[in-house]
Structure 1
């Protein structure tokens, strides 16, 4: 297979990253603002619902990963119903019934369905990328990750601009407009699934039969490199989840610049899209762990000053968005590539990625608790008072968590060295 042909097949694989990211961002960023502003849900109630739904989602990921490891050629039978469930539940998330069922119970049910369907697709998708070209084909894995995360950044730019514009418009029209956005998402998801199943490198069959879940867990627990990855991954995920949950509240009430929410988010993800190719090339030279550490340093330097901003500081915050966004590419691309290098040849991959996504979702669940904490501290959405606590939780706490993740990552560089010089030309 020529390199040109390979890149098109990697692109067919990576295209699914667009709708997966396009659905994830509104669930984590816009849902809190949507249910408080459009449906009048209290901040404390919303925070506990987010925490409970994300906690339910968290525990199932390793089990889903193990089920994926035991698939034998039936990846289409797994992906197709999961993608359909994701499209339907994502649309339902924005249309709570007007009577008969409380918006709280509806939100909890739809979140669980969206999370489950997204996990079913995403864990299989990540495990697929970890074995593209064979276990030892690290340039192919890095190239596939670059296409996946690049497409994902296009998805989050769409998901940051369109829903933000909808929420700034007439609240009465928001449910209908979000339904149109959901239809766009469903169409892109269908195209991505067709490309993945028909044109991407073949679904990697396991070298050996998957062990039962107890044996798989024991083998995973014995992997020293994987154990060292867990702490930095969780701390870093928490440092990203808190700002994602609070971003619109910070922009609306701390900066009092709600009309700029879409452009701010778009600049953040555009900077990430521009930086991603540079991060993947740098990772080929210095290794994914060292590259990830540099990204963390840049994120702290760029984001630390956000807690000092106040009403009218739109240009400084735009600079924060660009600097933090430029660092995001390392957060997105390096952990999956790093994990792929830590899994032994012939070992099942799904349970590893299921465990990693478990930690990411546990971080998201914990970030939901920031909402009742802020309510206890006196903050109320739409009220420009008691926003100092909001600023500190939005920016100060994540920077501290990022520094802890940076410190805990130091032991992984020697376990994931750079690629040989002959492979560095692969993007």
Structure 2
């Protein structure tokens, strides 16, 4: 019962992410004729600003939890209000000139990003403070990410029936439910073995980046996350311009996320046998093998691409279950549990957003510079999409896999063994 009550807030946070990071670039390019290179630059700048604030938000969240869990929860409520306002405004811009539209988009993105950061940071720190074994932390993270999968599935289907403007109401309802359920688990911190453990005062606390093992893990997370963010950004372009199957886009997303959800129990079982790092590496290798087929696809290859979506979705299950649990394992092995989780997650989410910034800042201008034009479907366009959507993520994944293997050898804590 307490597991799903904690994890439920992951659903609206993920519900927000899919339209914000996947659909928004295509939406503004099509409806408002914004240039891809300029749009990519704006997304890059706003996401870099967002990422730069996360370490400060993380330290702030640590101070909130030090005062009381309820205070941290109340701040998350304020963040949720900012998310709802900013998200709704993004899909309902007033009739305005080009300069005003760019300003509107930038301001509302920042509002949404900051509110999202506050809620997500409180949510991740909430579970990390319970401590536990790698398997226990993987279970908490899986509850959060399992709910997130339900959120993205809903976000992939509801626009077909409601339109993007109506999604803001659904988002606020889900945030309210998730925050109320999270509050019901507040008493668990008082009963947590980590919470009641008497820790000697150790000011000043070391910064996360002063721990070599954390730096190694963060670099892996950065490369692996960028590998996932690039195809997420380019999916609408690939489905419409290479496969020529826009009506299939919700089905592909559904296959992808359902496969991730169904595969998560498998990854959890393997974690108990092999440890966190080996399972993550297996997930990366599965994703690379699936993406190798993408450059060979063309118009009408919907069945083949559905198989690719299923395999990469299966691999996503490892990306969801392992990294957060591995980070929490590292925090508590370093002796900083119940003291600095928010600081660690601040840098962690900053890296995650840097992934998204790099994906939009690299992939969209790269497409335009290579001669790509939306919906034109020439050989040049197809080659540009094939390289950007299919091969580029494989390169980032392989680098991440190699770095994780090397990091686990240098820092045994990154193996994620009990």
For residue 201 of structure 1, report the CA deviation from its aligned partner.
5.6
State whether structure 2 residue 129 is matched by structure 1 residue 131: yes
Q: Aligned-pair RMSD on alpha carbons?
A: 2.0
Q: Retained in 1: the 8 A contact 2:40–2:365?
A: yes
State whether structure 2 residue 156 is matched by structure 1 residue 151: no
State whether structure 2 residue 159 is matched by structure 1 residue 181: no
State whether structure 2 residue 355 is matched by structure 1 residue 352: no
For residue 219 of structure 1, report the CA deviation from its aligned partner.
3.7
Report SS of the residue matched to 2:93.
Answer: coil
- Unaligned residue ranges in structure 1 (runs of 5+): 1-7, 167-175, 421-427
State whether structure 2 residue 178 is matched by structure 1 residue 192: yes
Whose helix proportion is higher, 1 or 2? 2
For residue 48 of structure 1, report the CA deviation from its aligned partner.
1.1
Q: Retained in 2: the 8 A contact 1:130–1:336?
A: no
Give matches, 1:19-418, under 5 Å: 19-71=12-64, 72-73=67-68, 74-99=71-96, 102-132=100-130, 135-163=131-159, 165=160, 177-199=163-185, 202-203=188-189, 215-216=204-205, 218-343=206-331, 344-345=334-335, 346=337, 347-369=339-361, 370-385=363-378, 386-410=381-405, 411-412=407-408, 414-417=412-415
The separation in 2 between residues aligned to 1:103 and 1:276, in whole angstroms, is: 41
Task: Give the structure 1 partner of residue 5 of structure 2.
Answer: 12
| Stretch moving more, 408-417 or 179-188 | 408-417
The separation in 2 between residues aligned to 1:326 and 1:139, in whole angstroms, is: 19
Seen in structure 2, the aligned counterparts of structure 1 residues 200 and 329 have a Cα distance that, compared at 3 Å, is farther
The separation in 2 between residues aligned to 1:383 and 1:105, in whole angstroms, is: 29
Q: Retained in 1: the 8 A contact 2:135–2:268?
A: no
The separation in 2 between residues aligned to 1:415 and 1:138, in whole angstroms, is: 11
Could you list the per-position Cα deviations for residues 129-153 of structure 1 after superposition, in whole angstroms to 9, with x for gaps in the alignment?
2122xx3444432221121111111
Q: Retained in 2: the 8 A contact 1:19–1:155?
A: yes
Report SS of the residue matched to 1:70.
Answer: helix
The separation in 2 between residues aligned to 1:17 and 1:179, in whole angstroms, is: 21
Could you list the per-position Cα deviations for residues 36-62 of structure 1 after superposition, in whole angstroms to 9, with x for gaps in the alignment?
122222212211111111111110000
| Stretch moving more, 48-57 or 191-200 | 191-200
The separation in 2 between residues aligned to 1:368 and 1:36, in whole angstroms, is: 13
The separation in 1 between residues aligned to 2:186 and 2:391, in whole angstroms, is: 42
Could you list the per-position Cα deviations for residues 165-197 of structure 1 after superposition, in whole angstroms to 9, with x for gaps in the alignment?
36xxxxxxxxx8212111111111110100001
Seen in structure 2, the aligned counterparts of structure 1 residues 107 and 22 have a Cα distance that, compared at 3 Å, is same
The separation in 1 between residues aligned to 2:113 and 2:43, in whole angstroms, is: 11
For residue 224 of structure 1, report the CA deviation from its aligned partner.
2.5
Could you list the per-position Cα deviations for residues 379-413 of structure 1 after superposition, in whole angstroms to 9, with x for gaps in the alignment?
11122122211111111010011001000001327
For residue 66 of structure 1, report the CA deviation from its aligned partner.
0.5
For residue 329 of structure 1, report the CA deviation from its aligned partner.
0.7
The separation in 2 between residues aligned to 1:21 and 1:67, in whole angstroms, is: 23
The separation in 2 between residues aligned to 1:16 and 1:332, in whole angstroms, is: 15
- Unaligned residue ranges in structure 2 (runs of 5+): none
Q: Retained in 2: the 8 A contact 1:70–1:210?
A: no
Task: Give the structure 2 partner of residue 423 of structure 1.
Answer: none
For residue 26 of structure 1, report the CA deviation from its aligned partner.
1.0
Could you list the per-position Cα deviations for residues 194-250 of structure 1 after superposition, in whole angstroms to 9, with x for gaps in the alignment?
0001246635769669988xx54x442332221220221110011011111111011
The separation in 1 between residues aligned to 2:393 and 2:416, in whole angstroms, is: 29
For residue 77 of structure 1, report the CA deviation from its aligned partner.
2.1
| Stretch moving more, 385-394 or 293-302 | 385-394
Q: Retained in 2: the 8 A contact 1:287–1:416?
A: no
Report SS of the residue matched to 1:102.
Answer: helix
The separation in 1 between residues aligned to 2:360 and 2:415, in whole angstroms, is: 36
